[in-house]
A and B are shown apart, each in its own frame.
Chain A
Amino acid sequence: MTHQLQGVPLNHYIWLSAIIFTIGVVGVLTRRNAIVIFMSVELMLNAVNLLLTAFSVHSNDPSGQVFVFFIMALAAAEVAVGLSIIVMVYRNTQSIDINVLNRLKW
């Protein structure tokens, strides 16, 4: 299995991750729904995970895959806190559209 994966050139992984990452960035910048923004952020993190794993397998160095575990664990913590913040905002405003959040001016 590892051999087959290593048959795929590293460049393909880099391009795939870069594209997924860019989709995430564009999603954060253009969407107005807090949950969708949040999902786009997760997309960015998962692009990073994929790329880290690819690099790690490519260079036979396990530390990259260990880093992936760190990212997963901390992303889960972030999800827990982030979703509760969104719930808190929803309770006060009955909306999760971030355009509601303009009480404070630029």
Chain B
Amino acid sequence: MNIIITIAVTALVVLYAGLFKAKKALLPITLIGLLTALGFVAVSWNTDQVYYGMMQMDNFALAFSGITILGTLFIFLLTQNYFAKDSENIAEYFTLILFALVGIVIMVSYKNMSMLFIGLEIMSVSLYILAGIRKSNFASNEASLKYFLMGAFSTGFLLFGITLIYGATGSFDLDAINNYLVGNYTSISPMFYSGLILMMIGLSFKIGAAPFHFWVPDVYEGSPTLIMSFMSTVVKTAGFAAFLRLFADTFAPLHDFWMPPLMVIVCLTLLIGNVTALFQKNFKRMLAYSSVSHAGYLLFSLIALTANSANNVLVYAAAYTFASIIAFGVLIIVKQKTGSDHFDSFNGLAKRNPLIAFVLTVAMLSLAGIPLTAGFIGKYLMFLNVMQEYQILLVAFAILNALVGFYYYFKVIVAMYFKEGKEIELETPAQYRVVLVLSVIITLFLGIYPAVILNLI
């Protein structure tokens, strides 16, 4: 609870700082607030507090809060001069991102369906505004409207699902629902099954899993790059944590019922995400499709429910978050210099900017899942988990998809090192360098010494 209060108060203080034109103070205030929130995460570790049956700050919630807060912190460090050219009033950007983070922390720690809904809406409403924050840019407008219509539509499904489950069990509380499932295993009301499927559809929309992914590339490409990096890392992690809390804990007794439809979703997501990413000429759009395919790998953990499922998602989400932050950071720098986000603008980058080329290479290797990077550990754990259930065909299919992934991730590495291009020198502000190097260190550290995060939850 302290975490939520800290972030919300920081958001309000930032808004007032903006009112009094204290532009220089915005970033320090935000960073102090987020670091305090991280401190509260560390302090409440292992305490497992429950707040009035609404929220439960168990280690699962704290670990995911920690990852999302740290990711947001890194994204805030990338904001240097980014919003300033769009608008005079940059305090609103900071506040909206912080409010979205409040929603995210609620989403990862809910113990009652109503909190899931409220957290999701606090996050979504902030993101609708953030996606369309470039008011006169048509692509940004379009992204915002599409995101809004799809988001509201999927919320409808989610709510109808919650209602049917409430009708069947008479409660919104996750424990009560779980008790109902265990107690009436042979006579579960058909309403419950339809509610479960509707909730699965609603949440799949939110995390962008196929066949409900069609809004993802458009919205991601249209929104400002920094907002896209927030949406595809932090928001996605939160969506998976919410999905996992519901399906891996509460609905676990019905695993045999919801596993087959989920398997279809996983296979479609992997196939569509990877194959479409192959044909993209635009780096930003490629990252959008790659984020769809990573949603498929993340859902993998739910195919075979074991004690490690939650921790595997945490490892994968951490690997994906930090690698993506590097990719988006570099994309912002390159786009500021060349004005384009095509693969061609990366040509010959390595000659004059060895550091940038190196960090982007590490990020791409991690996203592709090459050993010694965090991405490999994430993929390895996911595959191992499913292997234990002897679903060999599914693992083979996923490995095939990972191989397809190698091709499009290596495309940018090849462009940087082996293609001739204009020899441009990129301007990397100090804050960017800090974020990029820190993310690379985390990525490599988790890849070489994964034991620190393996048994966290």
Chain A contacts to B: CB under 8 angstroms:
10, 14, 17, 21, 24-25, 28, 34, 37-38, 41, 44-45, 47-48, 51-52, 55, 59, 61, 63-64, 66-67, 70-71, 74, 77-78, 81-82, 85-86, 88-89, 92-93, 98, 101, 103-104, 106
Contact = CB atoms under 8 A, between A and B. Distances in A.
A55 B163 contact: yes
15 contacts: A21-B156, A25-B153, A25-B156, A38-B149, A44-B159, A45-B155, A51-B163, A63-B171, A71-B117, A74-B121, A81-B129, A82-B148, A92-B138, A104-B143, A104-B221
Contact of A104 (B121, B139, B148, B160): B139
B118 A74 contact: yes
A40 to B, nearest CB: 9
A4 B235 CA distance: 46
Nearest to B117: A70
Interface residues of B, number: 41
Contacts of A21: 156, 160
A34 B149 contact: yes
Interface string B216-259: 01100110000000000000000000000000000000000000
B166 interface: yes
Contact of B152 (A51, A59, A78, A106): A78
Given A48-B163, A77-B125, A82-B152, A88 B114 contact: no
Q: Which 10 A-B pairs have the closest CB atoms?
A: A44-B156, A55-B167, A74-B121, A48-B159, A104-B218, A41-B152, A101-B142, A89-B141, A59-B170, A51-B163
B114 A67 contact: yes
A92 B135 CA distance: 9
A10 to B, nearest CB: 8
B433 interface: no
Contacts of B114: 63, 66-67, 70
Contacts of B167: 10, 14, 51, 55
B386 to A, nearest CB: 31
A96 B456 CA distance: 49
B156 A48 contact: yes
A29 to B, nearest CB: 9
Contacts of B149: 28, 34, 37-38, 41, 98
A92 B141 contact: yes
Contacts of B146: 101
Nearest to B141: A89
A54 to B, nearest CB: 8
B401 interface: no
Given A81-B125, A86-B145, A67 B172 contact: yes
Interface string B118-152: 10010001001100100110110111111011001
Given A34-B149, A52-B166, A103-B139, A85 B132 contact: yes
B133 to A, nearest CB: 10
Contact of B144 (A67, A85, A98): A85
Contacts of B125: 74, 77-78, 81
A10 B191 CA distance: 12
A13 B202 CA distance: 22
